[in-house]
Amino acid sequence: MTEKTPTPPNRQDPHLDPAEPAFDWMKPAGTGAGTAAKAQGTAPAGNTSPVPGAAAGKGQPAASAGTPASQGGATAARGGTPASQTEATLAQGGMPASNAGTPGSQAGSRADRKAAEAAVGPAAEPQGRGTHFREPLPTSALQVRPPQDEVERRNAERELANNTKPVLPRVMQVLLAVFYPLVLLVLAVRAVASPLFLWVEYNRPGFPGDGYGFSTDDRMTYGSYAVDYLSNWSGPRYLGELVNRSGDALFQEGEVSHMADVKLVILSTFAGGALLILLGIIAIIYLRRRSTGGVRRGLFAGSVATLVIILGLGTLAALGWQQFFTEFHRIFFANGTWTFALDDTLIRLFPGQFWVDSGIVIGALVLIASVATLILTWPTRKRRGLARKTKDKDTDALVASAKDGDAGTMDLPDAAQRRTRGNSATV
């Protein structure tokens, strides 16, 4: 079939559906807008006069949203709207047939058609087939401010939460203050119960000698056995089987029994001190993370308590050393198990001056450590200012986050607002 092939006499013209988007490129300018306007029941304001165009020479009727009268019988045969219904269409707000087929330039893009529809004005929603019900969005309650009493209640709860200080950091500070003097005392006892202190004591000027024949070397040798027994895990045989130069037993049975009792007290003290050190480290770690300046306050209170305790005990010991020494032994040992003759080995190795010097050294070590801690943790203006500055920063950050939470609460639906109200009380 070529261009010269004659057209069959019975061929019908193709039907162009005005609502088909595929034929928009064949429509003259303004037709797309007219189609949309008819679909919405309004006509464009500017299409009042036809403009001659190139579409007239093609022998095709102008496609439009309305039904032009020029389509004649073909339109009527296809069930289109006859020309007699044009007046009814105009009465209902439709576009006149003369304006529906206005020729012009080619139709623009979809955005241009949308712009033309927006220029005409909002059109009524069609209520025919295919219309969807639109319910209000869940965000329609935005920008609704809570009642004033609710806002005041939240502010009061937030202020109460900010002013309420947690209990656990205070408990940790108290425990640290209680543990500190006990740990210092245990460490001082451990320093005295060592061969080093024994050597210093035996070789210092003025230390009384043995009136029964022990030299300094004999004292150092036999005394080291006794001190080592207090910190090792050996049984009573460790001391019971020792002999002197003459082959006799170095320690009597009563002396070995007393040293076993002393060993039990010493090992229990060291174990308790190790446990207190572990708990003190845990308290320090917790306070460093949860309480600004909590470690300093705990150690400061502990050093003050240590000074009070050591000065009190030192005063009692200075006023009556013999009475103090006796009462101390009565607390830890049964009566009659810790008294010996002057020629017994324990008395020859550890005379009364040894225990006086041991008490002085223990008190001095504890006093020096507590004073040093007191100086390092003294609440100076600078330290208190730094702690207050850090606390103020934390409080400002908390208040800012709370305000942001209030602002977010006003922009949330009702269910989210209820969840936020429950969380704001725990700030």
Q: What per-residue confidence (pLDDT) applies to 392?
A: 56
Average pLDDT, the chain: 73
3-state SS assignment for residue 106: strand
Q: Where are the alpha helices (DSSP H) in 320-413?
A: 321-332, 345-349, 352-376, 381-410
Q: Mean per-residue pLDDT for 180-187?
A: 95
Quick: pLDDT tens for 86-145.
Answer: 444 434 444 444 444 444 444 456 777 777 776 665 555 555 454 555 555 555 555 567
User: What percentage of the chain carries pLDDT values higher than 70?
Assistant: 57
Q: Mean per-residue pLDDT for 160-186?
A: 89
* Whether the predicted pLDDT of 255 surpasses 70: yes
Q: What per-residue confidence (pLDDT) applies to 286?
A: 93
Q: What per-residue confidence (pLDDT) applies to 152?
A: 86
Q: What confidence category does residue 188 fall into, taking pLDDT thresholds of 50, 70 and 90?
A: very high
Q: What confidence category does residue 21 fall into, taking pLDDT thresholds of 50, 70 and 90?
A: low
Quick: pLDDT tens for 366-398.
Answer: 999 999 999 999 988 776 665 555 555 556 655
* Whether the predicted pLDDT of 213 surpasses 70: yes
Q: Mean per-residue pLDDT for 272-292?
A: 93
Q: What's the CA dihedral at 363, 367, 373, 378 to 10 degrees?
A: 150
Q: Mean per-residue pLDDT for 153-167?
A: 83
Q: What per-residue confidence (pLDDT) applies to 4?
A: 59
* CB-CB contact of 258 with 333 (8 Å): yes
- Run of H or E residues at 318: helix 294-319
Q: In this predicted model, which residue has the larger pLDDT, 417 or 16?
A: 16
Q: What share of the chain is helix, strand, coil (3-state, %, to 5)?
A: 65, 0, 35
